[in-house]
Structure 1
């Protein structure tokens, strides 16, 4: 709450500018003096000075507000409360700056304003929901603006019409705007892209019975006041069979959302917990409604995973990922994936591309409406709605809806349910149909139901546990597109060149006949060269070898992996973060510190007492969100089942080591399905190592009679070098 309880930020220029208001006040004072003079010369009756001007009007209004709150009718006076607070702030500033006033007069006026401020503060203390109207960034409702204007007019202040030109919502900064050449080619190939205005309902939903009521505040409050037993998921149809490529299967809770889209629903706030397949649901809903081209706005850490998931679930649809200025994108793709960080460069052409669907992943990223990121997303969505009557819109987030519900206003605006002042379209129609107003006791439960029915879907892992494995590994590919990433790829290329040179030298001096396949490769010799390279390398050695590659990749992934763990922690609670190397753990902890997350750690150099203290802190302190663990120090002997999500920032050399880490969480007593999020550096040797670990694990799982045939770490290292050398030989 601001120091001055009457201080309210108007959110946009008010109807009276500062200089104009001062001049109007001066004219008001002159007229009042003239009236007093006329009164003395005429009937002899004078109006007491204390009953003139704005302050008496504010004093009466604040007493009425206080009385209404005492009677439990706070909702009906929210707009008046805001108008009084705004005018009291303005009047205080005017009195302080008025050089024509005597000191005694100024002190008296300020004392009366302090009394008004005190009543406002005490009233807000009785009804805490009013505090939001005193915040620096509080929006002034239309009703509050009208009341403010009426009070000024009653006080004799001339109020001019607002001459401030509304900003053009499309007038965003253009300094970094780009239009990729392939997009220009697409536009030239299809120059007559006709907007689709059919079935547009965006402008429906006019307030009738609820006209004049402030509704956004009560809608937010309905999620706070309506607690246990209230639904968090819209009515969904029965799951229907969905034709999927290969051996893929859709879980029941996923199929229900796809069926809802197929039945005609077009806006979804999909808030399932992480691990329940929100990406697949959005992609298959787009397929069911032919909502292509489809735009996906996502965090940088998951944009490669979006392209990968699209290739899995809708493989017949082409996808393209925008990096930087987008020089290498496919302008004819069905699915365009862009991360928040570069959206500002592409917001111009994306709004005119002709998208029929849009997905915003980790949608809580846009909760701050004043940020450029949020403005860009809302801008593109508005323009898509303007071109397509009923686009498919998904907002994906794992954040529970009952925490900081007002943060979801931007998401509701993106989905077209509200604007910055009132409900829109079908939501307003639904509120009208309840027959209730915010003054009625049953309004909040009915209002919450109306919002949920617009498209909120929230399922927890424990709710659908029978549909998902008790333990699973989910890969998150990340793109290393910074300087370190380029350096790693160059070093990997140098290692491949050295292996090729060694192979060619051995092939030239080999005794006997070479056994070449159709591609001209001697695979037996390839394996020997890989084995020699592995024997010549060690984890302590310098130079470009398989160990150095993996360590550098771990360092490059550290920040991205920690960012993903931070997202999980804010979405679902406690997270276990595993890494192999100390510098990766250090980088992760720095990221958590910057994100304002409390963490503890388990490292090899800790004493037994320190280790036990840190484990207890993570398990028992609800404020400790993450525990950063060394794979070697924390892989065995500890119980972290208070969490059901873990992040593997670096790959192990064996499936056994990876499994031991997962088993710190997946233990007897764990009552939720466990998900291990494995961060993989795309287009590097990291992907080869991940595939090898999984293939060796599959062999072990199929071993007969309990025989353990899990590959050793040396096997995986050699196989990774074999894959690297074979690929280099094929690409010569």
Structure 2
């Protein structure tokens, strides 16, 4: 009997055996049972409790194994008995077989559908036979450490969770006794894991692969990719292309390929058993194209949907494979947009009375190619590089090559309308240009009557919105949006009118196609190239959020490739080498002590207020920006916040008066910009008090032409200009100095102001001063502005990435 791990036996606990008439018997060796008073109790210590079956065996006087079952006994039961007790032969005629070291054995079986089943078990040599035990069966004490070592090495080798060869247990992951591997995982197992397993001591591999199955062999041949017109879109501006891939002459099922690419598999097995690596540039590019197509639209399964306006994507298709059918003709047609070297050499129109610079000739040819293929785009050259002249060259070209047609409509800021008429008269005198500067009630004629016979109609954004139904009812050869940032808000009425106007060709002209975020860029492209990025929400998910929030460099590079054929941007530094140098300097000012004291008072008050509103930035945005504007005004002149502070001096006005006086004395002419018209008016009063004549322009100025002429004629050496009213459409190369009184976190707005001076026609070096009050919100605005400039440069000029989202953290920093 068994008690607390001790075997209680009448005499001995040694298992013995001897033959009886050719039959082996086994039992507990002991003496004849003594009389009760002479009985001896003997105790034998055990290393561990015995198994119930072994205890039952000990209670029997003998176990007989028939001779026919002796081999099976030694193979199946003998090793297990050895785990429980020492075994000895009581007679030399009984031969106990030797027990060899156990080997961890993997049996590999082929299954249907490119699958393998794997089974791990222990195999022990028992004489000339083998004993099989489950992977996690108890081991002999002497073998336990060796088994654990072998299993640990195997477990480490197959630890990749994608292989599926481990199972979870409360103690952690462990080697699974059985597993199936298929497809990509099977090839990786056969190629990478199985050869290394054979090098481990104590591991045996048994392959049970029948000859009827495929012989898995890798092909290194390059894939052949074709895109055939599927004609399933039902939309004239879209092409549905079925994707067909062949490797080694064998067709690849698209569904399997798409799933494999989406899952980042390493291999794909063809029905023949031939397999190939998916780690190729062609497949990575195809995967990205498919993902992009599905992210931006909803094409049918197995189809890549490509729009007419997606010129960059057509170029990538040409690099990736062959396009057949109608789509092939369109691909060849738009190739010139992506490859400047193959651009059609449209002749410069004879009616253009100007000599185009080389980059302007290239710009004209790009515009002509867009118009020829009924594609729109964005001319985004730096300010001052002659965008208006290039657009006029296009209009003149269309008139000379197509004959009389409906007029082009140009929509521009009101301050620029007459500038278009003036340049049209100068450079394209054969074109009939008509300006619409009044509503129908004031001009006394319908729009149709007012534009009859015109080649070019120029109006303002305001009038375009007010009389949109009249503009919509007329035929137009094209729509040109000058200073197109006026319609970069997709929620504005101006944007909706520009997008809705029925014109086959639409062009946006702006040096700042993106000022704050990528959605502004989407807005312009959705007007001029509506099939490039069809929906704002999907553009946001696929491009804006990854770029602005996650700093995804690959997605940024993809966006650049997509917009490049339909957006032409040249920088002055690259194409106008003869332009004089421009030097920029930030002048930091210490506020007057009285000014500083009042500013700090407002700072503490507004800081507490804004910090309490940041919990819901979107809901409280207006109130937050109102407080920020108040602090910006206080850093300029506290009387802008409250007139009661008239006795407090304005540090900037004092500096401006001193600086401008010196410049005037040296014969320089200066532009002075501010966003705040009240501060600009205070600057005018300070100039006049110092005896300095100046011109003044803001949104309320009626006779702009007279004011501009006065400055150009040299009547006044200083021109005070509102940033909003004069930041575009002006050519003021008569000045050579530019002073920005207050920094703004939109760098494009400042750049527009500076480029009123630094543009083609300037013959002198230009000096730009930015006045910044130290230890105020203005210093923080400068840092934020630099970040926004980086976002602009990263998307349009190929610079490093930066985010321009104004976050709650940014606002907290502004108030520190």
TM over 0.5: no
Q: Tell me which of the two structures has the higher relative contact order, counting C-alpha pairs closer than 8 angstroms and 6 or more residues apart.
A: 1
Task: Select the structure that is richer in helix.
Answer: 1
* Normalised TM-score (structure 1): 0.34
| Bigger Rg, structure 1 or 2 | 2
Q: Name the TM-score, length of structure 2 as normaliser.
A: 0.31
